[in-house]
Structure 1
Amino acid sequence: MDEGPDAPPEPGRPLRRGWTTGACATAAAKAAYRALLTGAFPDPVEIVLPKGERPSFALALEERGEGFARAGIVKDAGDDPDVTHGALVMSCVRLAAPGSGVSFRAGEGVGTVTLPGLPLAPGEPAINPKPREMMRAAIAEVAAEEGAAGDVEIEVSIRDGAALAQKTWNPRLGIVGGLSVLGTTGVVVPYSCSAWIHSIHRGVDVARAAGYPHVGAAVGATSEAALQRLYGLPETALIDMGDFVGGLLKYLRAHPLPRLTIAGGFAKISKLAAGRLDLHSGRSQVDAGFLSALAAERGASEELVARIAAAPTGLAALRLGHEIGLADAVAAQARATAIEALHGSEVSIEVLAVDREGAVVGRAADDAFRRA
């Protein structure tokens, strides 16, 4: 996932869309191929996106040499908190053997796939299928206009991509050496969360391809560390699902795993227990009334039930309900929500609730999970 934290836009201002790395690489490839054939770089360069949009890109780099041309575009991700915003995306185009078509190479800052389960085979440059399709179309367009064959090699590079990749999912997905060239529409929709959910799906795919019998999905770093202390799972068997437990469970309906442990802070897990599948603080809140009802079911006194109902935070409720095992009740109800969301898919589920120090305070699993 090529996203990272950034300051949000000013309240009330419309969010500005941006362009994917795939769109930038396509525009750079088109400009470079035109220069290779004609000696002149088009600036700006226009491309056609999959939905018919025709954006133009200004060139930040133009270079010609013996048998090659290279163009670069500074990525503008709009108002999306994307770690590749401002990165220089470059495409170097060289003529290839007649009849060879368009081939791709990973240049500096673009990763290479090393694990099965992704849309690309191990050994392939991490240039996703849709950006490849876009680049092939752009090359074909120029070739038709210039009367050329369109047989080329495209090497895509991203300045500082190897460092930026450490802020993404790529190392966990087995993509080494840099970033992925992503984008299905060419357009970055601000705060759409699509990149994160895409990464969750690819994490499941990699785990399935590896044949892991047990996979962990965590809300954040603290809960993932707690999960790891329990099971010592390999990194590629860990899914950073963030707040998108619903996105994970929906994908697992059609792409099941044998055993899944969901881990999160008590407050987040209490939202799942209450039936929420989006755990973001801006889209769901801890329901103190729900927690007090669970406490009552656990035999809490009327006084304790009332105090939990009035608790200002999930942490306060956790502390109040410690003696009656409130966290275990929350984990059990969260597990029930997850099982319901799977719609009968045969995934054995465990849920862990952890406190802020990373200690497991609530746990729920069935006998089949424990025996496996």
Structure 2
Amino acid sequence: MTHKTGLEDYFVIRNNKKMRFGYTTGSCAAAAASGAAQILLGGREIKEVSLMTPKGILLHLELADISREADAASCAVKKDAGDDPDTTDGILIYARVEKNSDITAPRITVDGGIGVGRVTKPGLSQKVGEAAINPVPRKMIYKAVEEAAGQFDYEGKLKVTIYVPEGEEIARKTFNPRLGIQGGISILGTSGIVEPMSEKALIRSIEVEMTQHVSQGEKYLLVTPGNYGADYLREHMELPFEKNIKCSNYVGETIDMAVNMGAKGILFVSHIGKFVKVAAGIMNTHSHSADGRMEVICSNAIRAGAGIECAREILACNTTDEALHILEKHCILHETMKEITDRIQFYLDHRSYEQILLGAVVFSNEFGYLGQTPHAEELITKINQGVN
């Protein structure tokens, strides 16, 4: 019989597919801490714990790898990300709870062990040197252990250590090294529940990274939408690659967040396939939100002097590189890119209401450098000089 977690009736429909909810590393850590505390203080093994999440969903989570000693107990909960693509899916999140004889310690202390990252740079919700256990999961852990202590009338002190044996290896695939979190993953989650392919979660991760850069004194930010932009930046531009922030498809949200944080500017370095959409005011560049690449290239080619035959050829293209070849054949590639970059500048400024300095460098994998907006050179200079 399949174990029921309490999430069986929770799902979303995306692209005509039913996608399951999951639960966060924070929920796993809190449930494991609850289980370990109950096993330690109750003196017997249990197989399952119930955990009320901040989302208001009651989870019923199985315990694994249970170990019990005289003054300590440990167990694990297996992470289930549902149908969300998550590098931590399926790993075991452990908690060890032990009686604490340190009279100077608070009633319950929570720390991270092996595989839980340590904060090495300012700007995050934990101080430098602390374990990367975010505030909501930390509260969930405290509450779970406090409830277990109350259940067994235990009035002494307890020390909780969250650890993840696979954490250090998995962290290499996450944003953590870029954020200055070393040695493992973060224990995350504000609702306790993972909603499949949540845009909010991705935008929040971008915000966290941007906040850290701004808190370290970077006022002019260097942003790439994805791997193509990052690769081009590293291989072809004389800019500090380590300052690069990835914004995925969320150009508009990135600008909004930069304004709210008090940043003074952003230089985007992007493949033409993404940023040509910005020339039409499209601020979410995901193909599900909008495409129109050929229409944008075509209209700007006409502004640059293209004839009807050139326009028709562009509209028949499937890729931006194909369209660039058409422009090159008709000897208006440079002129068209000037039109496109001018309009990118207009819509970037429109999004920010000209509150900050914005610019973009646009390239193609096949053609290389294609052009840049009017403010790009000034931003390149400021970023290289570390101007604040």
TM-score by length of 1: 0.90
Q: What stretches of structure 2 of length at least 5 have no aligned partner?
A: 1-12, 383-388
More moved, 161-170 vs 150-159: 150-159
The residue that corresponds to 2:350 in the other structure is 340
The residue that corresponds to 1:365 in the other structure is 374
Aligned residues between the structures:
362
The residue that corresponds to 1:91 in the other structure is 95
The residue that corresponds to 1:106 in the other structure is 112
Once the two structures are superposed, what CA deviation does each residue of 1:184-226 show, in whole Å capped at 9, x if it has no partner? Answer: 0000001113332222111111111111243211122221122
Indicate how the Cα distance of structure 1 residues 132 and 10 shifts in structure 2: closer, same or farther if over 3 A, else same: closer
Residue 66 of structure 1, CA deviation: 4.5
Give the residue type in structure 1 aligned to 2:127: A
User: Is 1:260–2:266 an aligned residue pair?
Assistant: yes
User: Is 1:37–2:33 an aligned residue pair?
Assistant: no
The 8 Å contact of residues 244 and 278 in structure 1, kept in 2 or not, is answered as yes
The residue that corresponds to 2:289 in the other structure is 283
**CA–CA separation in structure 1 for the residues paired with 2:324 and 2:297:** 9
Q: What stretches of structure 1 of length at least 5 have no aligned partner?
A: 1-8
The 8 Å contact of residues 51 and 185 in structure 1, kept in 2 or not, is answered as yes
Residue 145 of structure 1, CA deviation: 1.9
The 8 Å contact of residues 65 and 75 in structure 2, kept in 1 or not, is answered as yes
RMSD of Structure 2 on Structure 1 (CA): 2.2
Residue 137 of structure 1, CA deviation: 1.3
The residue that corresponds to 1:51 in the other structure is 55
The residue that corresponds to 2:161 in the other structure is 155
**Map 1:244-255 → 2, pairs under 5 A:** 244-255=250-261
Indicate how the Cα distance of structure 1 residues 66 and 340 shifts in structure 2: closer, same or farther if over 3 A, else same: farther
The 8 Å contact of residues 267 and 286 in structure 1, kept in 2 or not, is answered as no
The 8 Å contact of residues 226 and 360 in structure 1, kept in 2 or not, is answered as no
The 8 Å contact of residues 74 and 94 in structure 2, kept in 1 or not, is answered as yes
- 2:77 counterpart (69, 73, 80): 73
Residue 50 of structure 1, CA deviation: 0.9
TM-score by length of 2: 0.87
The residue that corresponds to 1:227 in the other structure is 233
More moved, 115-124 vs 88-97: 88-97
User: Is 1:28–2:38 an aligned residue pair?
Assistant: no
Indicate how the Cα distance of structure 1 residues 88 and 370 shifts in structure 2: closer, same or farther if over 3 A, else same: closer
Residue 13 of structure 1, CA deviation: 4.4
The residue that corresponds to 1:353 in the other structure is 362
Identity of counterpart residues, as a percentage?
29
The 8 Å contact of residues 267 and 359 in structure 2, kept in 1 or not, is answered as yes
**CA–CA separation in structure 1 for the residues paired with 2:162 and 2:352:** 39
**CA–CA separation in structure 2 for the residues paired with 1:259 and 1:128:** 29
Quick check: which has more Rg, 1 or 2? 2
What SS does the corresponding residue of 2:221 show, helix, strand or coil?
strand
**CA–CA separation in structure 2 for the residues paired with 1:370 and 1:356:** 21
The 8 Å contact of residues 132 and 181 in structure 2, kept in 1 or not, is answered as yes
